[in-house]
Amino acid sequence: MPSDRAYRVRRIRRHVGLGLASVALTVAMSAIVPSPNLVFRLSMGSAYAGLALVGISLAIGPWNVVRRKPNPVSTDLRRDIGIWAAVVALFHVGVGLQVHMRSMWEYFFYLSGGSPRLPIRRDAFGLANYTGLAVTVILVVMLATSNHLSLRSIGARRWKAIHRSIYVGFPLLVVHGALYQLLERRQLPFVLLFGAMSVLIVVVQLVGAYRSCMSARRS
């Protein structure tokens, strides 16, 4: 793996740029949320910013396919964008758990009024939070392995399998987001933005898959 000074400087610059872009996008989205609650606005802003970063990271592979460029197991650009997508998502989890309930456990369990035998939340609110928890676990694992050491020690095939778990995480992310659109009765522009972003990400993946299939047939 490259280790020269120019490479390290390039990676640092990219991370600084991605970090600033992530903060700017989160702040910009938070600023247009019509609520006096700063925590809620940050939760909303980071949710949309995180979705955008996940979408960009997922689009790099299909974009390479469309341009007929090599699509290696790992590239620094895709990995770095994925790192910041995970960082923003984890920030969203942190602030989001402060919005609705006094205790974090109430997002997942009935602490009062529920069945004593099965205190796990079984309503739409619980489903939204459990899907969000599953996505969080996936992103934490991906974040922890987004480095050269993990790639070398795990091996390319296993490393790729771990990072392909985002294709399981993305549908869960859509379910999580869609449920919160309904639970919080969000205004139509935010619903449309979420829907447009989700559909665009799916379309990009389908285009990439179609082009890959066509290339395989020609080969």
What pLDDT was estimated at residue 201? 94
Kindly report the backbone phi and psi dihedral angles of residue 120, in degrees, each rounded to the nearest multiple of 5, phi listed first: -65, 135
On whether residue 36 sits in a domain, the answer given is: yes
Number of separate domains in the chain: 1
Q: CA 186, CA 151: separation in Å to the nearest integer?
A: 41
On whether residue 149 sits in a domain, the answer given is: yes
On whether residue 201 sits in a domain, the answer given is: no
Is the Cβ–Cβ distance between 60 and 78 less than 8 Å? Answer: yes
CA distances from 50 to 45, 56, 92 (A): 9, 10, 8
**Span 92-116, average pLDDT:** 81
| Structural domain span for residue 32 | 5-57+71-185
Is the Cβ–Cβ distance between 185 and 193 less than 8 Å? Answer: no
For 20-130, where are the E strands, in sequence order?
Answer: none
On whether residue 174 sits in a domain, the answer given is: yes
Q: What sign does the CA torsion over 6, 11, 16, 18 have? A: positive
On whether residue 202 sits in a domain, the answer given is: no
On whether residue 12 sits in a domain, the answer given is: yes
CA-atom Rg of the chain in angstroms: 19
**pLDDT tens-digit readout, 19-77:** 999 999 999 999 999 989 999 999 999 999 999 999 999 999 888 888 888 777 678 88
Q: Facing residues of 120 across strands?
A: 109
On whether residue 49 sits in a domain, the answer given is: yes
**pLDDT tens-digit readout, 116-157:** 566 888 889 999 999 999 999 999 999 999 888 888 898 888
pLDDT band of 202, cuts 50, 70, 90: very high
pLDDT band of 217, cuts 50, 70, 90: confident
Which residues are CB-neighbours of 130 under 8 A, at least 6 positions away? 108, 121
Taking each helix axis from N to C end, the angle separating 166-183 and 124-144, rounded to the nearest 10 degrees, works out to 150
On whether residue 198 sits in a domain, the answer given is: no
